[in-house]
Amino acid sequence: MRSIDHFNLRSFDLNLLVAFDALITERSVTKAAQRLRLGQPAMSHALSALRLLLDDQILVRIGTTMQPTARALVLAPRLRELLVQIQGALTPQAAFDPLKEERIFRLGFSSELEVLLMPGLTAHLRRHAPGIRLLTRQTSRSDVHTMLDTAELDLAIGCFDFGLERHRGVQLFEQTLACCFNPALIKLKQPISEETYVTRPHALMTLKDDIQGCLSEALARIGRELNVVLAASDFLTVLAAAAEGPVLATLPARIARRYAPRFALTVAAVPLDLRVPAVAMVWSARNDRDPASAWLRDAVRTVLATRDLPGGQRRDRRLTA
């Protein structure tokens, strides 16, 4: 993209381009003034300024009519195209129609939120906005705000903060935990006691170099540690490990309820007061009033509102911030 010499360009009155187009269109100072709702002296002054700046007569009298010069005829279509582009850029956009929108959105997720949302959101978009496509990636809390600032992401969903002025956000839901196990490999009475829970071998999720996984801060807050034998970066690995080995798998409750039965695992309550960050949706302030972005954010909330219902039944109630 070519750069603009703002310093030199600002010395040129861009209103003269509008006057030039009117003069070439009407080929009359009087009619051009009427088109722009100006007085004839003002239009005559504009023509004089154009002649001086362009070093060309622009319009010359031939008999009883005014005719454009050769240079004016060359410039006219190019300047008309520029004016049309400027007018299009400044004219309010047509009402947003999701069925007609063609766009790629880039979404960032923390941990398991991608698999919790994307199946339902993909189905929702196929029905209501087939031209919208999604590109997703795992995103850390330390990188998310920079990626939103640089437009690497349009939207981030996970355990993210949104206190900075240049970002907007909404809390989607408070996150709770559940543990699951293979009843054929582990015989446990429910509710599980604190001592049993702490001492049993554990499988957890982690996105960092910490054997206590994503629960490290919550465990440190209450002064406890778990007997962790596996800390994996993917929740499917954690569930598969619990299905094949005598370990407890602690996961976000929504994931446990949705996917543990597919591994023939029993879901149980976590007996410790483990408080984990709420799940939020965060975006750049520059996208706050973009109709397509706002529609997608609303779709995310609508889809998440159905995730806990049996069989994925739809409902109209939306989560509140």
Tokens describing residue 75: 């410039």
| DSSP letter for each residue of 176-218 | -EEEEE-TTT----SSPPHHHHHHSEEEEE-SSS-TTGGGHHH
Query: Looking at the structure, do residues 156 and 197 belong to the same domain, yes or no?
Result: no
Orientation angle between helical segments 70-90 and 15-26, nearest 10 degrees:
120
Query: Looking at the structure, do residues 164 and 299 belong to the same domain, yes or no?
Result: yes
pTM score, whole prediction = 0.65
- Domains contained in the chain, number: 3
- Give the tens place of pLDDT for each residue, 62-73: 888 899 999 999
pLDDT at 317: 33
CATH number at residue 36: 1.10.10.10
pLDDT at 208: 74
The reply to whether 34 falls in a domain is: yes
pLDDT at 41: 93
What residues of the chain score a pLDDT lower than 50?
A: 1, 4, 6-7, 9, 309-321
CATH number at residue 206: 3.40.190.10
Domain-ending residue, one of 36, 55, 90: 90
pLDDT at 2: 54
Residues of the domain holding 24 = 8-90
Domain-ending residue, one of 38, 62, 90: 90
Written as one letter, the residue type at 66 is M
